[in-house]
Amino acid sequence: MDEYGQSLLHLTYSYVGKREIAEDLTQEIFVKCFQRLEQFQKKSSLKSWIWRIAINHCKDYLRNWHYKHIIVSEEKIRDTQSQETEVVNQVIQRYEDEELVAIVLSLPDTYREVIYLYYFEELSIREISSLTSVNQNTIKTRLKRAKEILKESLEG
């Protein structure tokens, strides 16, 4: 949990877009990994095994009835008052980062997944292919299309 907890939380957040739900899913994933630890066959790295479980768990969550039919309350409103010493550049950077995250989260699942794994988790095309069970050329195509969509969205 110490080694993979934060990055796994980021992964789950990239799927669900809500911090509280991502935290719950991350805990569920670690429990599931612990319960199935004897099934780990060391054919891949522990990280890949955990990531595979996490991706499948997130996809299962997004497919379930509860997610589709129950309206989740919005996140608490963040404190909008900034300190007087905050520099204008920090505000601009934060806005740009949030805009980028919002645009990435608005991508279809297949594109969001490869963007997140490639740029945020810094996995190679081969690792992503192995993790998602998708052909490497398909990963490259999805990555290219996702970048084109992001470019159009950011220019607009």
Encode the chain (156 residues) as per-residue pLDDT tens digits.
Answer: 888 888 898 988 888 888 888 899 999 999 998 888 888 877 778 888 888 899 999 888 888 766 665 544 443 444 444 444 455 566 666 766 677 777 888 888 888 888 888 888 888 999 989 888 899 999 999 999 998 988 888 786
Domain shared by 59 and 97, yes or no: no
Q: Is residue 82 part of a domain?
A: no
Which of 35, 69, 103 terminates a domain? The answer is: 69
- Give me the number of domains the chain comprises: 2
Q: Is residue 96 part of a domain?
A: yes
Task: Tell me, letter by letter, the H, E, C secondary structure of 21-84.
Answer: HHHHHHHHHHHHHHHCHHHCCCCCCHHHHHHHHHHHHHHHHHHCHHHHHCCCCCCCCCCCCCCC
Q: Is residue 18 part of a domain?
A: yes
pTM of the model: 0.51
* Domain around 143: 88-155
Residue burial 56-65, b: 16+ Cβ < 10 Å; e: rest: ebbeebeeee
Domain shared by 56 and 23, yes or no: yes
Domain shared by 95 and 149, yes or no: yes
DSSP SS3 for 117? helix
